[in-house]
Structure 1
Amino acid sequence: MAPYEALYGRKCRTPLHLDEVGERAGLEPDVLEQTAEAIRKIRERMKAAQSRRKSYADNRRIDLSFEIGDHVFLRIAPMKGVMHFGKKGKLSPRYIEPYEILERIGTLAYHLALPPQLSAVHSVFHVSALRKYIPNPSHVLSHEPIQLAPDLSYEERPERILLREVRKLRNRSIPMVKIQWSNQSEREATWETEADMLNLYL
């Protein structure tokens, strides 16, 4: 039952349901034919648009799969209070280690061999959180220790201000600061409003 019918006790009177609501007899045949033809064209165009969007998505989709014993990087999510001119959000995902795959669970999940310091983190991950690592003796993998939460996020805090500027927005001026965040390089610094930074971190 449609919400309209549940609320009003009758079917909604639209061109889609002329037969069901008993109003077909009161309309001219030409009107009925034009309405039916318009509805048919709308449905065909909607179906074509959906098919086109699906084909675009399928072209960009890559099916990932790993084998037991493979090593993969694990995606983590650095979090902070504000990002890009006051919009709430997070920085770009990052990847740590690699870790060995111990078991494949179904078609889309994998059990990883996590170190003791990540004992609070569930060791089964969706394939979208993994990136394959191809071993190479010349690679030197090193990273600073990061305190991860059980949901694989960690807090980013501002380390220093790199630049300052004032942005003009119609009839007001907004002081901005370019912040370098902890565990991030200068290249990944972001612009934030000075007011937001003072409210969040002072």
Structure 2
Amino acid sequence: MGKIAYELDLPNELVLVHPVFHVSMLKKYIGDPSTIVPLEGLEVKENLAYEEVPIEILDRQVKRLRNKKVASVKVLWRNHLVEGATWKAEANMKSQYPHLFPSTSIQA
């Protein structure tokens, strides 16, 4: 389009996105096939949002603050690599996704 705007050839799934972008919104990308997120199975809504789905808890940590302890879990999300795992508050994750936390109570 010019020196400061580029028109991108977007896939059909992104037909609602305006294809012209200012250069400040773009950055050079050197392809790495392992970082490509497949679009199959990714349910993109009309507003171009999609729901992140956690698939596994990878780690747990407890940070001690002044008067309390805060537990966090490292969450692996669907369509993300392990490097894309994020730390989330354990209490929030337990309330939203209880199936990720096996019961630790011992039944007698």
Shift in alpha-carbon separation, 1:134–1:175, aligned structure 2, 3 A: closer
Say whether the 8 Å CA contact 2:71–2:89 is kept in structure 1.
yes
Matches within 5 A, 1:98-109: 104-105=1-2, 107-109=3-5
Q: How far, CA to CA, are the matches of 1:165 and 1:140 in structure 2?
A: 32
Q: 1:73 — aligned with what?
A: none
Q: How far, CA to CA, are the matches of 1:179 and 1:154 in structure 2?
A: 17
Q: 2:18 — aligned with what?
A: 122
Q: How far, CA to CA, are the matches of 2:33 and 2:73 in structure 1?
A: 34
Say whether the 8 Å CA contact 2:56–2:77 is kept in structure 1.
yes
Matches within 5 A, 1:29-108: 104-105=1-2, 107-108=3-4
* SS of corresponding position for 1:117: helix
Q: 1:174 — aligned with what?
A: 70
* SS of corresponding position for 1:176: strand
Aligned length: 95
* SS of corresponding position for 1:170: coil
Is the helix fraction higher in 1 or 2?
1
Say whether the 8 Å CA contact 1:110–1:124 is kept in structure 2.
yes
Residues 5-46 of structure 1: per-residue CA shift (max 9 Å, x gap): xxxxxxxxxxxxxxxxxxxxxxxxxxxxxxxxxxxxxxxxxx
Shift in alpha-carbon separation, 1:195–1:160, aligned structure 2, 3 A: same
* SS of corresponding position for 1:167: strand
Q: How far, CA to CA, are the matches of 1:114 and 1:191 in structure 2?
A: 32
* SS of corresponding position for 1:198: helix
Q: TM-score, normalization: structure 2?
A: 0.63
Gap runs ≥5 in structure 2: 99-108
Alignment RMSD: 3.1
Shift in alpha-carbon separation, 1:117–1:162, aligned structure 2, 3 A: same
Shift in alpha-carbon separation, 1:109–1:200, aligned structure 2, 3 A: farther
Shift in alpha-carbon separation, 1:140–1:170, aligned structure 2, 3 A: closer
* SS of corresponding position for 1:155: coil
Q: 2:106 — aligned with what?
A: none
Gap runs ≥5 in structure 1: 1-103
Q: 1:163 — aligned with what?
A: 59
* SS of corresponding position for 2:83: helix
Q: 2:38 — aligned with what?
A: 144
Amino acid at match of 2:11: P
Q: TM-score, normalization: structure 1?
A: 0.38
